[in-house]
Amino acid sequence: MNAPDRYERFVVPEGTKKVSYERDTKIINAASFTIEREDHTVGNILRMQLHRDPNVLFAGYKLPHPLQYKIIVRIHTTSQSSPMQAYNQAINDLDKELDHLKNAFETEMAKHSREY
Amino acid sequence: MDGGMSYQRFPKVKIREVKDDIMKFELRETDASLANALRRVMIAEVPTIAIDLVEIEVNSSVLNDEFIAHRLGLIPLTSERAMSMRFSRDCDACDGDGQCEFCSVEFHLRAKCLTDQTLDVTSKDLYSSDHTVVPVDFSDPNEPGEQRGIIIVKLRRGQELRLRAIARKGIGKDHAKWSPAATVTFMYEPMIRINEDLMESMSLEDKRSWIESSPTKVFEMDPITQQLKWHLKLEVQVVGSRLTGEEGREDASYWLSLFRDVPMLPVKVVAEPESYTYDDEVIKKAEAMGKSGLVEIEAKEDSFIFTVESTGAIKATQLVLNAIEVLKQKLDAVRLSDDTVEADDQFGELGAHMRGG
C-alpha cells in the first residue's frame, strides 16, 4: 500500500547529490560524508580501508535506518591529512586493489583452463 | 591535495574447481570486508535479464494470470549481454515500455492442449526475439533427447495459454528473480594446530573417541595406521577362526595385545580441515578427557574459501568477474564530485579567514 518503490533503494533521485560532505563544526579535520543509495557493501569496505591509513584517527559508517537508503561515513584525521584526502585515498586504493584482483583472477582462469 | 601514501593490498587468488555453473576459489591477503562486499554484489547487484512485463492474450489454464507472470519472471535467461545492456529506466531510445532493442527482449508463448494427454508448458515453449537471450538450457549433454525445460503450467484437453512477455535488465536488489547467484558463500580458512606430545600420551581408544567427537569429519587416523589396522583385522579373523574352540580366544583385545610391540604410527592427521564448522566440539572433548590444549583452532583472518553457484544466467567465473566490475563502478560513483571539493575549498578559505589566518 504505502511501501516505497523497490527502485528507491538504488536509484538516486533527481536533484540529489550522490555524496555530500559536511565538516564537523567543533573538531578540526573531522567530517561526515553522506552517501545516497549505498549500504554495507560500500560502507564497510571504505571503513576498513580507512583504518589502514595511519593518519586516520577515526573512521566509521552507519546505516541510520533501513528505510533511509543512505549511509553516513565519518572520518577524523591527523593534521597531516584531511578527511577528504583520506576518503579519496581509500577509494583509489580499493579501486587499485580490485584491478589487481581482476588481473589475478583472470590469470588464474587462464592457467586453470590450460591445465584441464 | 593528493600525493599521499598508498595503503593498497595485493590479494592472491587460487582457483580450485571450475564448472559452468559452479566454482570454488581461495582468496588471500585481503580482509573480510572485501570478501563480503564481493559476496553481496554477486547476490544482489550483478545484472541479469528476466521477464518483467507479461501481456496475457488467452489463459484458460488452472493457474491465474499473476501466478503465471510470476513463474515466468523466475525463469533464468542467458544474460551474457546484461552487462552491456541498458536499464530501461535510463534508456533514451524508448519510454521504458519494452519496445526497444537496447533495453528489452520480447518473448512469445503459444500452447494449446488438443489431446487427452496432459500438456506440459515449459520454458522451451518460450520464443525469444533475440537468440542471445533464451531460457537457460539444463539438459544433460550425456543424455540427449531428455526434456529438461522448466515447467510453467500443465494444460488438459481444451486449455490454452497465449502470451507476450518482455524481459528487461535488472538486479537482485530490485527483485530476486534478477539475482544470478544460487548461492555464494565464503568461509575463513581454519588453522589447526595439534599438540603432538599430548597426542602421544593418549591411548588408541581415546584418540578414536576424540576423532569421533567431531560432527564433521575433520580428523582421521593416519593412512599408514589404517592399513595396519586392516591387516590386523584380517589376521585376527583368519587366525582367530582357526583357533576358535582350541583356545577360546575370540576377543579382539587379546589379538590386539599381540601387536602391542609393533611400531604403529597412530598419530592423527588432519583429514579435511575445511569441513570444520567452528563448532568447538573437539576442543570441548579434549577438555573433558583432561587433555586441554590438545588442539588449537583459529580462523585465518585474511584467507577465504569461496563457493559460487550460478543460476545458469551467467557462468560462475563470469559472475565473479562481473561482481568485481560492478564493485569498481560503485566505488567510482561515490567519488567526491568536483563542485563539492570546490565548495569546501572556498569554505576552508572562508574559515581560515574567519579564524584570522
The x, y and z cell numbers of residue B83, run together, are 552487462
What percent of chain A stands above pLDDT 70?
98
Q: What is the pLDDT of residue A116?
A: 61
* Domain assignments of chain B as residue spans, ordered by start: 8-46+180-235+263-337, 49-178
Q: Specify the 3-state DSSP secondary structure of A72.
A: strand
A9 touches chain B (CB under 8 A): yes
Q: Find the CB nearest A85 among B1, B45, B347.
A: B1
The x, y and z cell numbers of residue B310, run together, are 550460478
Pick the CATH number of B8-46+180-235+263-337 from 3.40.50.300, 3.30.1360.10, 3.40.980.10, 3.30.70.1520: 3.30.1360.10
Q: What is the pLDDT of residue B255?
A: 52
**Is residue B268 pLDDT above 60, yes or no?**
no
Confidence of residue B9 (pLDDT cuts 50, 70, 90): very high
Indicate yes or no: CB of B7 within 8 angstroms of CB of A19. no
Indicate yes or no: CB of A108 within 8 angstroms of CB of B25. yes
Rounded distance between C-alpha atoms, residue A84 and residue B50, angstroms: 40
Confidence of residue B209 (pLDDT cuts 50, 70, 90): confident
**Is residue B211 pLDDT above 80, yes or no?**
yes
CATH class of B49-178: mainly beta
The x, y and z cell numbers of residue B46, run together, are 550483478
Q: What is the pLDDT of residue B182?
A: 96
With contacts defined as CB-CB under 8 Å, which chain A residues touch B174?
A: 6-7, 9-10
The pLDDT tens digits for B60-94 are 999 999 999 999 999 999 999 999 998 988 887 77
The pLDDT tens digits for A40-74 are 999 999 999 999 999 999 999 999 999 999 999 99
What percent of chain B stands above pLDDT 90?
55
The pLDDT tens digits for B117-170 are 999 999 999 999 999 999 998 877 777 667 778 999 999 999 999 999 999 999
Query: Chain B residue with minimal CA distance to A37?
Result: B334
Confidence of residue B254 (pLDDT cuts 50, 70, 90): low
With contacts defined as CB-CB under 8 Å, which chain B residues touch A35?
A: 334
Residues 6+ positions from B168 with CB-CB distance below 8 Å? B49, B50, B52, B53, B87, B88, B98, B103, B104, B105
With contacts defined as CB-CB under 8 Å, which chain A residues touch B25?
A: 105, 108
The pLDDT tens digits for B303-355 are 999 999 999 999 999 999 999 999 999 999 999 988 777 777 666 555 555 44
Rounded distance between C-alpha atoms, residue B173 and residue B148, angstroms: 29
Q: What is the pLDDT of residue B267?
A: 40
Give me the mean pLDDT over the A78-99 stretch: 96
Confidence of residue A109 (pLDDT cuts 50, 70, 90): very high
ipTM given for this complex: 0.96
Q: What is the pLDDT of residue B243?
A: 37
CA of A76, closest CA in chain B: separation in Å? 16
**Is residue A10 pLDDT above 80, yes or no?**
yes
Fold classification of A11-113 (topology level): Gyrase A; domain 2 (3.30.1360)
With contacts defined as CB-CB under 8 Å, which chain A residues touch B344?
A: 21, 23, 84
Query: Chain A residue with minimal CA distance to B40?
Result: A41
Pairing of strands B22-28, B12-18: antiparallel
With contacts defined as CB-CB under 8 Å, which chain B residues touch A38?
A: 330, 334
Q: What is the pLDDT of residue B247?
A: 43
With contacts defined as CB-CB under 8 Å, which chain A residues touch B7?
A: 49, 52-53, 89, 93
**What's the predicted TM-score (pTM) here?**
0.84
**Is residue B261 pLDDT above 60, yes or no?**
no
Q: Find the CB nearest B8 among A93, A108, A113.
A: A93
Cα torsion angle, B168, B172, B176, B179, sign: positive
Cα torsion angle, A43, A47, A48, A49, sign: positive
User: In three state form, how does the secondary structure of chain B look?
Assistant: CCCCCCCCCCCEEEEEEECCCEEEEEEECCCHHHHHHHHHHHHHCCCEEEEEEEEEEEECCCCCHHHHHHHHHCCCECCCCHHHCCCHHHCCCCCCCCCCCCCEEEEEEEEECCCCCCEEEEHHHEEECCCCCCECCCCCCCCCCCCCCCEEEEECCCCEEEEEEEEEEECCCCCHHHCCEEEEEEEEEEEEEECHHHHHCCCHHHHHHHHHCCCCCCEEECHHHHHHHHHHHHHHHHHHHHHCCCCCCCCHHHHHHHCCCCCCCCCEEECCHHHCCCCCHHHHHHHHCCCCCCEEEEEEEEEEEEEEEECCCCCHHHHHHHHHHHHHHHHHHCCCCHHHHHHHHHHHHHHHHHCCC
Indicate yes or no: CB of B13 within 8 angstroms of CB of A108. yes
* Domain assignments of chain A as residue spans, ordered by start: 11-113
Closest of B160, B183, B271 to residue B225, by C-alpha: B271
Q: What is the pLDDT of residue A42?
A: 97
The pLDDT tens digits for B99-119 are 677 889 999 999 999 999 999
